[in-house]
Amino acid sequence: MKLHKNFLILLFITLMSFSAHKYYLSLTQINFSSKSKSVQIIINVFMDDIETALNKDYDIDLQLTTEKELKENDVYFEKYLNEKLHFKVNTIDKKFNYIGKEYEGELVYFYLEIENINAVDQITISNKILVKHFPKQENLIKSKVGKVNKSVLLDAENYSETLKY
């Protein structure tokens, strides 16, 4: 008998949806710029989730967007992203530069850049952002190289994917 994964369906009671409806999703937009010869990455995550994750992982109290916001917190964000996020461009491991972050409503945007890329055939992304503390976290990747758009939805189990252009 073939044991199918669906055999193991168990009950998850996710019924309630109130006004402050909560879902767990981040968006990573990857764009290859032939002009600047770089892979440009914008990531947005929910502010309270990333705050919870960093506070737990690094034993800090970020208090984002408040008067008590932890100063020079970029060092933690950069550290966190370096731990959770890895790229290969054309099968070669690549480090990214952390350009900075900005806040918009409930979201935090991170700007990352991989420099000195002449052409892109494929990108491998490994994304474990927020999955440790939020088991239902999903990380959506959207990418654009030339005129080709590729996207993939990653989560705690399937956190890595190679996108070919």
Partner 1 sequence: MKKLSMLLFSFVFIAGANFAQQKTKQGHTNQNKFKQLKDELATPNSQHTASGAPGIAYTQQKVDYNMDIVLDDDNQRIYGNETITYHNNSVDKLTYLWVQLDQNMRAADSKTPDIQPNKIPTKLSKSRFDRSFPSEAFDGGFKIEEVTNIDGSDLSYTINQTMMRINLTAPLPSGASFEFKIKWWYNINNHRTQGGRSGFEHFPDGNNNYVIAQFYPRMCVYDNVEGWQNDQFWGRSEFALEFGDFTVNITTPEDHMLGATGVLLNEKEVLTRKQLKKLAEAKKSFDKIVIIQSQEEAEKVEKKRATKTKTWKFKATNVRDYAFASSRKFIWDGMAVDINGKTVMAYSYYSREANPLYGDHSTKAVAQTLKTYSEYTFDYPYHKAISVDGQMGMEYPQICFNPGRPNADGTYSDRVKYRMIKVTIHEVGHNFFPMIVNSDERQWTWMDEGLNSYMEMLAELAYDKDFPITRGYPKNIVKYMNGDQSRIAPIMSKGDHVYSFGNNAYGKPATALWILRETIMGKELFDHAFKTYSQRWKFKHPTPADFFRSMEDASAMDLDWFWRGWFYTTDVTDIGIQSVKKFQTKTGENDTVEFIEDTTAGLTFAKKDANSKFHYEITYNKPGGLVMPIIVEFTYKDGSTERKTYPAQIWRYNDKEITKTFSSEKEITNIALDPDLETADVDTSNNSFPRKEQTKFTQFKKKMKG
Query: Binding partner 1 by CB under 8 A: which of 57, 77, 99, 122?
Result: 99
- Longest Cα–Cα distance of the chain, Å, equals 61
Interacting residues of 129 by C-beta distance below 8 A, sequence separation 6+: 26, 43, 45, 50, 81, 84, 85, 137, 139
From the list 1, 3, 11, 92, which residue makes contact with partner 1 (rule: CB under 8 A)? 11
Q: Is 47 exposed, middle or buried (0-12, 13-18, 19+ CB in 10 A)?
A: middle
Contact call for residues 41 and 27 (beta carbons, < 8 A): no
> Residue 11 CB, nearest distance to partner 1 (Å)?
5
Q: Does 116 bind partner 1 (CB under 8 A)?
A: no
- Residue 3 interacting with partner 1 (CB under 8 A): no
Among 2, 59, 66, 71, binds partner 1 (CB under 8 A): 66
Helix (H) or strand (E) holding 146: none
Does 102 bind partner 1 (CB under 8 A)? Our answer is: yes
Query: 109 forms bridges with which residues in the sheet?
Result: 44, 102
Residue ranges in contact with partner 1 by CB under 8 A: 5-6, 8-21, 23, 27, 31, 33, 36, 40, 42, 47-48, 63-66, 68, 99-100, 102, 105-106, 109, 111, 113, 133, 135-136, 151, 156-157
